[in-house]
Amino acid sequence: MSLLISNYIILKQHNLLIESHSGNLDLDSYINFVTKTTLDPLFSKNMNYYIDLSNVVVTASIDDIRKYNDFTEENFKSEIKRKVALVTNSPNQMVFATLFKNSNTQKLKEIKVFSTNESAFEWLNCSLNKNEFLTIFRSLKKDSFN
């Protein structure tokens, strides 16, 4: 069993946080990762998120989704509407992401599940050029495997 390996980059000028994960996705590992990102001086609770789950095995439970929602309700209430794009490529990831989306308790957080990087990026309607995004994303994802 591999642990969760996570990388991120914050593009403050584009109001975007890009995450790339590989390994086993469990509640504690992800909460530790999220907590780490909030310590970044570029972090804002009002950012949009691009979250790549395409290389994870989800080991979190349905109850863990509720616990994560409680954690975010307590720590990350945004003041403006924001988007969260979840990218998946397996049934395990898709089921988890859909359950996560359907159990969202934050009215200002819109979540959508995607099967391609391009469609997720387009939905976010970010000011970043698509080719720039793909270059940044591929570099971040590559770092997840090194």
**What structural domains does the chain harbor?**
5-145 (3.30.750.24)
pLDDT tens profile 86-118:
999 999 899 999 999 998 888 888 999 999 999
Q: In the chain, what is the greatest distance between 2 CA atoms, to the nearest angstrom?
A: 39
146: pLDDT confidence band, cut at 50, 70 and 90?
A: low
Measured between alpha carbons, how far is 30 from 68 in angstroms, rounded to an integer?
A: 9
Q: Report the alpha-carbon angle 73-74-78, nearest 5.
A: 55
Contact 61, 31 (CB under 8 A): no
Range with the poorest average pLDDT among 5-9, 25-29, 52-56, 70-74: 70-74
Coil vs helix vs strand at 39: coil
| pLDDT tens-place string over residues 30-58 | 999 999 999 999 999 889 999 999 999 99
Token pair recorded at residue 97: 């992401």
- How confident is the model over 56-87, as pLDDT tens digits? 999 988 899 889 888 888 887 777 889 999 99
